[in-house]
Structure 1
Amino acid sequence: MKGREWQAALSLFGHMPVIRVATDVISFNATISAYDKEGQWRSALRLFSDMQRTSSAADVISFNATMSACARPGLWQLAHHLLSEMPRVRLAATVVSFSTVVSACESSGQWQMTLDLISDMQTAAILCNVITLNSAISTCEKAGQWQVALDLLHSSSLKISANVITFNAAMSACQKGGQWQLVLELLTAMSRGGLSADVITFSAAISACEPYGLWEQVLRLHAEMARSQVVPNRITYSASISACRAGNWQLALGFFATMQARGLEADVISFNAAISACEEAAQWQLAHHLLSEMQTARVAVNVRSFNTTISACEKAGNWELALELLSEMRDFRDLRVTADEISFNATITAVAKHGPWALALQLFSSMPSARLVPDIISFNATISACEKNGFWQLALMILSGLATAELQPTVTSYGSAISACEKSSDWQAALEILRTIFHHRLANGITCNSALSALARGSQWLRAGALLSKMRDRAIPADAVSYSAGISACEQGDVSAQPAFG
């Protein structure tokens, strides 16, 4: 039924008793189908139930139409119940009946039920068609069952010639399962089978390459698209930008520019992918320009848009702009741009590395008032800010706060605290932290070197020698920095390094 024909059908059915026209199975079926088209599954079920109280016995079409009404909202249990009722009223299910229930299973990813239905079809000698197969593979894709999807695609018992939709569904299943090699193999198999890949096919292949940064492969896929005269769409470009962001940020921005030049409006996904490419390369000017362009183009910015731009500033050392963007987020009235832990962590890290340490501490302290709970990254960045200025007491106080926050210190937490002690020449505190690190088996060359430098400043050559021996016993490689610190400890203590370290 097209347009408003379903409304006319419902109106006519309702007036039939009034004008004394008997309802029959045909009128019931037409009305159930009208309810199906309108998405009124409850009304369809009610009318189907009403048929049982009339002389109009439900036929296969009645069952199929009612199952279809249940399939649209994914009510697979109801659809399956109706299918199981058909033999009770001596009606033989058709391929349409089974396909409808398989379709109902699709949205909820009921792949086991789908396999059972296909098995029942084979038992009943009902040939599975390509529509049923496509729905079954899509069900597996939604359930993350890429292996089952491939088994269905390659099943010889089904005797179905797969079409482009079949391959696209299988490729999507493999793509979501992280099987990029299999996706490319399916693309090759399509070509060998005489099927022409469409934009959905290529988009799935490029999306499969995205998590692994396979930008060279993406380039080849774009070249193949051009040869096949397939025009990329916004999804294709967004996936291409994301795939290139880490390995070739210039190419990522090139795809973004090409997309706009072809008249495709960039959305929040493509903008965020382009900003992420700039962030990977610490191109804060370009990232900030794209963020501003989003707002000019009235594209709905979100928290990721801001966070990625702040991260680009952090990597480039532009703590002032990072702080400005965080402030802008906090003033934003759109809930999609509410500053979160990532926003604060990136800003604290930027300030800790390149700005005033007190400001980093202030940002850290302000997180609870923003209803945010500092995480290990927040703590580590703040400890690092104290470390760079040698405020070892403050660094140790923040380090001790991890226990209160029920967070487990990392080697970075301890390393920054030891480094703070080293810069303030407090070798006792450095050794105390190092004992804790060894206890938790987190010691590495960096933490040991910081402790050795603290010992050197304190002329503790015996302890430096003992630490070098302990490093050797624990299989922690000593490098030039380690021995240089040890030698410096000896020089400060006016002792020859040869007898001290052998």
Structure 2
Amino acid sequence: MRPRGPACSPDNYTYPLALKSCAASKDILLGLQIHSAVAKLGLDANRYVAHSAISMYARCSRPEDAYRVFDGMQSRDVVSWNAMISGFARAALFERAVEVFKEFVALPCSIPDAGTMASILPAMGNAKAEDIILVRKAFNEMQLKELISWNAMLTIYANNEYHVKAVELFLRMEKDGVEPDSMTLATVLPPCGELSAFSVGKRIHEIIKRKGMLPNLLLENALTDMYASCGCLKDAREVFDSMSARDVISWTSIISAYGKHGHGREAVDLFEEMLGQGLEPDSIAFVAVLAACSHAGLLDVGKRYFDSMTCRYHITPRAEHYTCMVDLLGRAGCISEAYDFIMTMSIEPNERVWGALLQARRMHSNMDIGLVAADSLFRLVPQQTGYYVLLSNMYARAGRWADVTSVRSVMANKGIKKLPGASIVELGDRVHTFHIGDRCHPQSEIIYQKLDELLGRIRGMGYNPEVEATLHDVEEEDKEGHLSVHSEKLAIAFLLINTRPGTPIRVTMNLRTCGDCHLAAKLISTITRGEIILKDTNRIHHIVQGACSCGDYW
């Protein structure tokens, strides 16, 4: 620090600049000297100086020192609070950042601004529901909502998988006349894909083209993913083919798209084409191609890629790669080999690995290995509902109803409840959600009438409900009634009522589709002569004229 002389007397304007310079260079030693000099001159109470000191300490990874400055301030404005929230968030002390945010918005005269939204954003990556609600409340109360605030709120929703909220917020943004930028659109495209909100995603694509935002790798990759997730493989491929430059992420997106749509061989061809262009696959690219091999049952090809990943590209397998391989072996009926593979893993198998083995047992009978997988899962994730349901399925299909009852008793004693199935569809600019036996929708009466009509017609084609899918030891007609009101069927009936004949029916589920709904969808596609696209948690089912892209294996 240069010595001060009579012609050079730093003041409350000079010191903030000096502290900001220390923050930018992360020079904590000089920053401490300057802050000490500030205190000796009695300028540390100045708000501008304090703000700069808070930022300097935060950027230099000294959040507690930043808080001491903040705590010692006699009066604080929004900049003070934003600086402290940002300081904790920058230090990855996310709970502390949220605590300060809560303290701020609880003040009677607090006025959050764009800086507040930007400051809290890094702390909201894996947020509690009540904290997201609180941030949205603060956002709603902002009189001037700048684009940065909209983008922050959209990002919070997207990062926390509040897909419906993200799309609804974007639609509100459009209604309010707020012009989006590339970050806005790149943020909302993934939720559109997750919900199969094709019309909104398509409109975003038009906005991108109208604003001349292309070429833009971030947007083009997001568009490819969105179209693929909406079941529009052709549109995804058109975006991919139109790209003037592609990175590994671009190739991974299209490889994954083909795999999820049941075109495993084409996915493998694309992977080979990527290699031919001199691009080196990364860990995620191998997950995409291994998953594609699994979906298509390409056992030998998948084994070869797994070996090349480790031997040629020196990529250490992660749990995702092992999961793909267990799924691949399990789908091929190699249950014992899949179990042996798990036993030789270089890392501890996690819940997804054991879950893949238990899922494989769902399609191929091997009760002993299924029980080993279930036992491992209950030790790893004792509160995870889905695996108890899979074990219950396993017993039910074997007719072991006493064991089904035992599993459900364990669930009840532990307070574990089965995740209710939900199906989401888009119609116009609205997202509609259906649950099993749902009668809350304004069109419920005609939805059930339409569903009764459809079920009557497919029964005439020989449809018999797969009553074992209910997994309860109850009377057959009770099981059938339970199946007839599954959320997928309600969603399909709703769209058939409200769309023109021939319009593709797109339904997104929060669980794997059950065998009965899958069968019903195939038969409904035959009588309506239309395309039904069911997206469950595992893959995308393209159903046309009674045939599904999954080959009835999912």
Normalising by structure 2, we get a TM-score of 0.59
Aligned to 1:175: 158
The 3 A distance-change label for structure 1 pair 322 and 369 is same
- Kept in 2, the 8 Å contact 1:241–1:274? The answer is yes
- Kept in 2, the 8 Å contact 1:310–1:346? The answer is no
What is the correspondence of 1:34-433 to structure 2 with a 5 Å cutoff?
A: 34-41=21-28, 43-52=30-39, 54-55=40-41, 57-58=43-44, 59-72=46-59, 77-87=64-74, 93=76, 96-107=79-90, 108-109=93-94, 110-117=97-104, 122=109, 128=111, 130-135=113-118, 138=121, 141-142=124-125, 144=127, 145-155=131-141, 160-231=143-214, 233-246=216-229, 247-258=231-242, 260-261=243-244, 263=245, 265-268=246-249, 270-297=250-277, 299=279, 301-337=281-317, 340-352=321-333, 361-371=336-346, 373=349, 375-378=354-357, 381=360, 395=366, 398=369, 401=372, 410=391, 413=394
- Kept in 1, the 8 Å contact 2:299–2:332? The answer is yes
Q: Give the aligned CA root-mean-square deviation in angstroms.
A: 4.1
Q: What is the rounded CA distance, in whole Å, between the counterparts of 1:75 and 1:397 in structure 2?
A: 55
Shift of 1:406: 7.2
Q: What is the rounded CA distance, in whole Å, between the counterparts of 1:315 and 1:195 in structure 2?
A: 42
Higher relative contact order structure (alpha carbons within 8 Å, sequence separation ≥ 6): 2
The 3 A distance-change label for structure 1 pair 396 and 290 is same
Shift of 1:274: 1.8
Aligned to 1:425: none
Q: What is the rounded CA distance, in whole Å, between the counterparts of 2:118 and 2:170 in structure 1?
A: 20
Unaligned runs of 5+ in 1: 1-12, 388-394, 419-432, 443-467, 480-502
- Kept in 2, the 8 Å contact 1:133–1:152? The answer is no
The 3 A distance-change label for structure 1 pair 166 and 438 is closer
Q: What is the identity, as a one-letter code, of the residue corresponding to 2:266?
A: L
Q: What is the rounded CA distance, in whole Å, between the counterparts of 2:369 and 2:145 in structure 1?
A: 62
Unaligned runs of 5+ in 2: 379-387, 409-467, 481-554
- Kept in 1, the 8 Å contact 2:326–2:342? The answer is no
Q: What is the identity, as a one-letter code, of the residue corresponding to 1:361?
A: S
The 3 A distance-change label for structure 1 pair 38 and 118 is farther
Shift of 1:348: 0.8
The 3 A distance-change label for structure 1 pair 85 and 239 is same
The 3 A distance-change label for structure 1 pair 47 and 153 is same
Shift of 1:35: 0.8
Q: What is the rounded CA distance, in whole Å, between the counterparts of 2:357 and 2:323 in structure 1?
A: 9
When you count helix as a share of all residues, which structure comes out higher? 1
Structure showing greater Rg: 1
The 3 A distance-change label for structure 1 pair 232 and 137 is farther
Q: What is the rounded CA distance, in whole Å, between the counterparts of 2:395 and 2:338 in structure 1?
A: 21
Aligned to 1:8: none
- Kept in 2, the 8 Å contact 1:168–1:201? The answer is yes
The 3 A distance-change label for structure 1 pair 37 and 336 is same
Q: Percent identity?
A: 13
- Kept in 2, the 8 Å contact 1:63–1:83? The answer is yes
Shift of 1:278: 0.9
The 3 A distance-change label for structure 1 pair 384 and 37 is closer
Normalising by structure 1, we get a TM-score of 0.64
Shift of 1:277: 1.2
Shift of 1:198: 1.1
Equivalenced residues, count = 393
- Kept in 1, the 8 Å contact 2:66–2:87? The answer is yes
When you count strand as a share of all residues, which structure comes out higher? 2
Q: What is the identity, as a one-letter code, of the residue corresponding to 1:151?
A: K
SS for the counterpart of 1:218 is helix
- Kept in 2, the 8 Å contact 1:105–1:114? The answer is no
